[in-house]
A and B are shown apart, each in its own frame.
Chain A
Amino acid sequence: MADKIFRVNMTDLSTSIEDVPADWAGHGGRGLTSNIVAAEVPPTCHPLGPDNKLIFAPGLLSGTTASNSGRISAGAKSPLTGTIKESNSGGTSAQRLAKIGCKALIIEGQPQDDGWYSLLVTPEGVTISKEEELVGKGNFAIVEAVEKRFSDKIGILSIGQAGEMLMTGANISVKDPDSHVRSLGRGGLGAVMGSKKIKFIALDAKDGKVELADADAFRAANKVFTKALIDHPVSQALGTYGSNVLVNIINEAGGLPTKNFSSGQFEGHEQISGETMHDLIVERGGKPTHGCHAGCVIKCSQIYNDLKGNYKTSGMEYESIWAMGADCTVDDLDQIAEMDSIMDDIGIDSIETSVAFGVAMEAKVLDFGDSKEMIRILTEEIAKGTALGRVIGNGAGSVGKTYGVIRVPVVKNQAIPAYDPRAIKGIGITYATSTQGADHTMGYTIATEILGVGGTADPLSKEGMVELSRGLQIATAAIDSTGMCLFIAFAALDDETCLPALIDMLNARFGIELTADDVTNLGMSILKTEHAFNIAAGFTNLDDRLPKFFETEPIAPHNAVWDFTGEEIDTFWDF
């Protein structure tokens, strides 16, 4: 069965299944969501109005046995940034959608009434139902109830209270293999789903399977690919310490934004580090090694138990821990785990919201380090939609505007994550030029600047940084289209067998003859499509800039400032 486009119109509550247009046939994941948004969403539309569309697409290899291929992409015009947006996540949804035979699920329009709805997607099509029971509920209750209604095999995409209340920090949550949630974060796609009045989407693949054009070639390539992933030392460290292994090295390098970006080192770094977290997890009978989707061989996630040895949370990332930790000067992992769990349940972005807390602390709304008050605000203000809750739930830019704070670390209104661009300059180019606001995952120059993977570059020098960021942003756009986890990039940068094996798998899946150049061209074309959407939405090169304070406030210990000129930044788009 050929993959199809599933379309849902929430204005007239109609659904359809369509053939895949030739222009979209070679796309998956981010490439597909961005091409659909570019083709069908008016760039100047209101992101929460009827003209925006929410698109879900599994990656090109999702649903196959390819290692680490279980990432789902969601796309729309972002209500946080006003730019095009693609977010991707692990969990079980990519594999379910691929096995349903759904190349993309397009949700358009907006109901005329105030009621809420749910969608059930199966190989036969989409069913729209009224939803009452779960309105106002968090993601944990949703997963439990929806599994009871259908089965524990069901895939679930859902929004918590933040998405219902259209907060621009809202995530779409994705059920993982343990019935916990992962997040389609950054950019407020949960608010777009809330604006369509959809509380959850259930995915039932029944006995659907993904067909391979050449199963033997696919198997052989996957073997080579998997070995490259497993053998790479970064994969091994990720499995042991998680991405949180970065706290100590970024702190040591002087690039750990601390106390709302006023210093580059955090006194409490050791208490929130990956090493400490690993030891705590082992001591309490949790799991330091855990995959966010079936088929992952890196397993950077973890099961974090509380003091009594009961499950607290999983999948805590470095950037979330940094944001709640160093940026808000909280040095207690249990408090951080508690907040991580609450944010998963409310369905709100743990980077955006925590950076928003840092700005609120600077405005003296609460004290730096006051994690108890953060927890109270999350549960009593954000989850309940009070005025303060909405100010913080709408992100760092919203808090800055409300309280007149100048030091607001955002680009295109999206919070800057866990690497200070004054001390690690290449990542600043990524923040400035990314088509989706500040986002380290768009072009992870840290690999080269700090970690020595894929070469080396002096993080305090501007030399070669535009080219470094460009190359990585192009490669990332391509990887984000395959359904692959971005952490395959460490092996891909260092092991020459990795990328050819990935391309061989794509060819064996579809019976095509892609080359490495085709993959690079795919990445370039995705970036250009996204950039063109933003320009048509009213963005100019002057939006590709970091906040002024990075140029005027030197950061310790290097006393470095952001010193790229606008002209230098603008050369990013010379390709």
Chain B
Amino acid sequence: MKVNVKLFAFFREGRFIKEDKELPEGTTTGQVVDDLNIDREEVGVLLLNSRHCKFDKILQEGDIYAIFPVIGGG
């Protein structure tokens, strides 16, 4: 299945801004983070189709999946 993965802030360094990834059925949000060699401790927010999620969510065909480090502002 195809999932659009987006990275932000310093997670982009040495990786990518966004990519369509071909993933096996049943891949979880956490597995994508691990496959990108991103430390789960550094993850601040995961947004799957614009909704917050955790590492255990199973991805679906056509999902848009955004991975952010801990960030803030205001």
Contact partner of A238 among B12, B47, B68, B73, CB < 8 A? B73
* A237, A240, A241, A440, most chain B CB atoms within 10 A: A237
B9-23 vs A, CB cutoff 8 Å, 1 = contact: the mask equals: 110100001000000
- A249 with B74, Cβ < 8 A, contacts A450-B45, A451-B45, A452-B45 known: no
Tell me if B8 and A275 are in contact (CB < 8 A).
Answer: yes
> Which B residues, 21 to 71, have Cβ-Cβ distances below 8 Å to chain A?
42, 44-45, 47, 50-52, 66, 68-71
Tell me if A252 and B73 are in contact (CB < 8 A).
Answer: no
Tell me if A490 and B9 are in contact (CB < 8 A).
Answer: no
The reply to whether the CB of A20 lies closer than 8 angstroms to some CB of chain B is: no
CB-nearest residue of chain B to A453: B72
B28 CB to closest chain A CB (Å) equals 19
- A253 with B74, Cβ < 8 A, contacts A233-B69, A452-B44 known: no
Chain B residues whose C-beta falls within 8 Å of the C-beta of A240 in the assembled complex: 9-10
What is the size, in residues, of chain B's interface with A at 8 Å between Cβ atoms? 21
Tell me if B50 and A246 are in contact (CB < 8 A).
Answer: no
> Which A residues, 205 to 259, have Cβ-Cβ distances below 8 Å to chain B?
233-234, 237-238, 240-246, 248-249, 252-254
* B10, B70, B71, most chain A CB atoms within 10 A: B71
Contact partner of A441 among B12, B17, B74, CB < 8 A? B74
A510 CB to closest chain B CB (Å) equals 29
How far apart are the CA atoms of A274 and B12 in the complex, in Å? 13
Tell me if B73 and A243 are in contact (CB < 8 A).
Answer: yes
- A233 with B70, Cβ < 8 A, contacts A252-B47, A450-B45 known: yes
Chain B residues whose C-beta falls within 8 Å of the C-beta of A237 in the assembled complex: 9-10, 69-72
Chain A residues whose C-beta falls within 8 Å of the C-beta of B70 in the assembled complex: 233-234, 237, 451-453
How far apart are the CA atoms of A300 and B72 in the complex, in Å? 10
Contact partner of A274 among B9, B50, B52, B66, CB < 8 A? B9
The reply to whether the CB of B6 lies closer than 8 angstroms to some CB of chain A is: yes
Tell me if B44 and A447 are in contact (CB < 8 A).
Answer: no
Chain A residues whose C-beta falls within 8 Å of the C-beta of B66 in the assembled complex: 249, 252
> Which A residues, 556 to 575, have Cβ-Cβ distances below 8 Å to chain B?
557-558
The reply to whether the CB of A456 lies closer than 8 angstroms to some CB of chain B is: yes
Tell me if A249 and B52 are in contact (CB < 8 A).
Answer: no
Tell me if B8 and A318 are in contact (CB < 8 A).
Answer: no
Contact partner of B71 among A249, A254, A440, A458, CB < 8 A? A249
Contact partner of B73 among A242, A253, A270, A456, CB < 8 A? A242
A228 CB to closest chain B CB (Å) equals 14
A444 CB to closest chain B CB (Å) equals 5
How far apart are the CA atoms of A447 and B71 in the complex, in Å? 9
Chain A residues whose C-beta falls within 8 Å of the C-beta of B52 in the assembled complex: 253, 452, 456, 458-459
Tell me if B50 and A451 are in contact (CB < 8 A).
Answer: no
How far apart are the CA atoms of A89 and B59 in the complex, in Å? 45
- A558 with B68, Cβ < 8 A, contacts A238-B73, A441-B74 known: no
Tell me if A245 and B74 are in contact (CB < 8 A).
Answer: no
The reply to whether the CB of A487 lies closer than 8 angstroms to some CB of chain B is: yes
Interface size class of A (residues with CB under 8 A): 35 or more
Tell me if A447 and B72 are in contact (CB < 8 A).
Answer: yes
Tell me if B73 and A246 are in contact (CB < 8 A).
Answer: yes
Chain B residues whose C-beta falls within 8 Å of the C-beta of A300 in the assembled complex: 73
- A248 with B8, Cβ < 8 A, contacts A253-B47, A450-B45 known: yes
- A238 with B72, Cβ < 8 A, contacts A252-B6, A275-B9 known: yes
* B42, B47, B74, most chain A CB atoms within 10 A: B74
The reply to whether the CB of A486 lies closer than 8 angstroms to some CB of chain B is: yes
CB-nearest residue of chain A to B45: A452
Tell me if B50 and A558 are in contact (CB < 8 A).
Answer: yes
The reply to whether the CB of A474 lies closer than 8 angstroms to some CB of chain B is: no
Chain B residues whose C-beta falls within 8 Å of the C-beta of A244 in the assembled complex: 73
How far apart are the CA atoms of A440 and B74 in the complex, in Å? 7
B59 CB to closest chain A CB (Å) equals 16
CB-nearest residue of chain A to B12: A275
Contact partner of B74 among A254, A446, A452, CB < 8 A? A446
Chain A residues whose C-beta falls within 8 Å of the C-beta of B45 in the assembled complex: 249, 450-452
Chain A residues whose C-beta falls within 8 Å of the C-beta of B47 in the assembled complex: 249, 252-253
How far apart are the CA atoms of A490 and B70 in the complex, in Å? 11
Tell me if B74 and A241 are in contact (CB < 8 A).
Answer: no
How far apart are the CA atoms of A487 and B73 in the complex, in Å? 7
Tell me if A241 and B50 are in contact (CB < 8 A).
Answer: no
Tell me if B72 and A234 are in contact (CB < 8 A).
Answer: yes
CB-nearest residue of chain B to A298: B72
CB-nearest residue of chain A to B44: A452
How far apart are the CA atoms of A557 and B50 in the complex, in Å? 8
Contact partner of A245 among B6, B50, B51, B73, CB < 8 A? B73
How far apart are the CA atoms of A534 and B25 in the complex, in Å? 58
Contact partner of B50 among A233, A254, A319, CB < 8 A? A254
B53 CB to closest chain A CB (Å) equals 11
Chain A residues whose C-beta falls within 8 Å of the C-beta of B51 in the assembled complex: 460
How far apart are the CA atoms of A490 and B44 in the complex, in Å? 13
Tell me if B50 and A253 are in contact (CB < 8 A).
Answer: yes
Tell me if A241 and B44 are in contact (CB < 8 A).
Answer: no
B55 CB to closest chain A CB (Å) equals 13
B5 CB to closest chain A CB (Å) equals 12
Contact partner of A249 among B17, B42, B68, CB < 8 A? B68
Contact partner of B9 among A245, A270, A441, A458, CB < 8 A? A245
How far apart are the CA atoms of A245 and B8 in the complex, in Å? 9
- A451 with B44, Cβ < 8 A, contacts A234-B72, A444-B74 known: yes
| 3 A-B pairs with the lowest CB-CB distances in the bound complex, closest first | A243-B73, A234-B72, A233-B70
Q: A248-B8, A252-B47, A440-B74 are in contact. List 5 more A-B contacts (CB 8 A).
A: A233-B71, A245-B72, A246-B73, A252-B6, A253-B52
What are 29 sample pairs from A and B whose C-beta atoms fall under 8 A apart? A233-B69, A233-B71, A234-B71, A237-B9, A241-B71, A244-B73, A245-B8, A245-B71, A246-B72, A246-B73, A249-B45, A252-B47, A253-B50, A253-B52, A254-B50, A270-B17, A275-B8, A275-B9, A300-B73, A440-B74, A441-B74, A447-B74, A451-B70, A452-B44, A453-B72, A458-B52, A459-B52, A486-B74, A558-B50
